[in-house]
Amino acid sequence: MGSMYASVMFIGVQNASSVQPVVSIERTVFYREKAAGMYSAFPYAFGQVAVEIPYLFVQAGVYAIIVYPMIGFEWTTAKFFWYFFFMYFTLLYYTFYGMVTVGLTPNYKVASIVSASFYSAWNLFSGFFIPRPRVPAWWRWYVWICPVAWTLYGLVSSQFGDVQNTMEGGETVAEFVQSYFGFDHDFLGVVAVIVAAFAVLFAFLFGFAIHKFNFQKR
């Protein structure tokens, strides 16, 4: 789980940070072309979103092929697919989140400051340091809307949620994952839909931000 958490946070933040200056520069061109009547906001936003999809697919594939056997996860088609699926859509929503922060702020420098505050919150409520059942009830709502928490839910439950090996305490791995972390293997399909929905949500918010906000000074 530590490897999953570290890779999600490090690669995700790296993707979001690296896309911000690119989107910021291209937005300047968009302002010029929009004023000339050449660009419309939503087709432009769709193009920027679509161009990331194959690139991130390759990135997630290369990462999964290298890391999956190195960690020693169980070699089954279903488990490898789930690992690739959750990593792919995690990279998508992180990248689209970086694009959203640029769309909502005047430049990528401000965007990096704004996004950093959310990275800290996502890190705290990811469920790695403090499992969801141990989070105080008045903060548990944030765990349910934290995208990284859903990613770890999917990764951990898909790899360990059905393992019936008995631990030293007498309970199985699957029982420990459910009792300590609150990860239910039967809930895996719903988790997959929610993780994919975060990517769609951030992609839509980017299009909305480009359409509604104009930070051009002249």
Portion of the chain with pLDDT greater than 70, in percent: 99
CA atoms of 56 and 83, how far apart (whole Å): 14
- The whole-model pTM stands at 0.92
pLDDT beyond 70 at 218: no
CA dihedral 185, 123, 57, 95 (to 10 degrees): 140
Residue 121 has pLDDT above 80, yes or no: yes
Collapsing DSSP to helix, strand or coil, 172 comes out as: strand
Within a 13 Å sphere around the CA of 190, how many CA atoms are in the beta-carbon half? 6
DSSP string over 126-139: SSSSS-GGGS-GGG
| pLDDT at residue 217 tops 70 | no
Write out the E strands in the chain. Answer: none
- For 176-199, write each residue's pLDDT tens digit: 999 999 999 999 999 999 999 999
Percent of the chain with pLDDT over 90: 57
Tell me the per-residue pLDDT of 58-90, one tens digit each, with 9 for 90 and over.
Answer: 999 999 999 999 998 988 999 999 999 999 999
Report the alpha-carbon distance of residue 152 to residue 5 in Å, rounded.
Answer: 7
Between CA 62 and CA 47 the distance in angstroms is 24
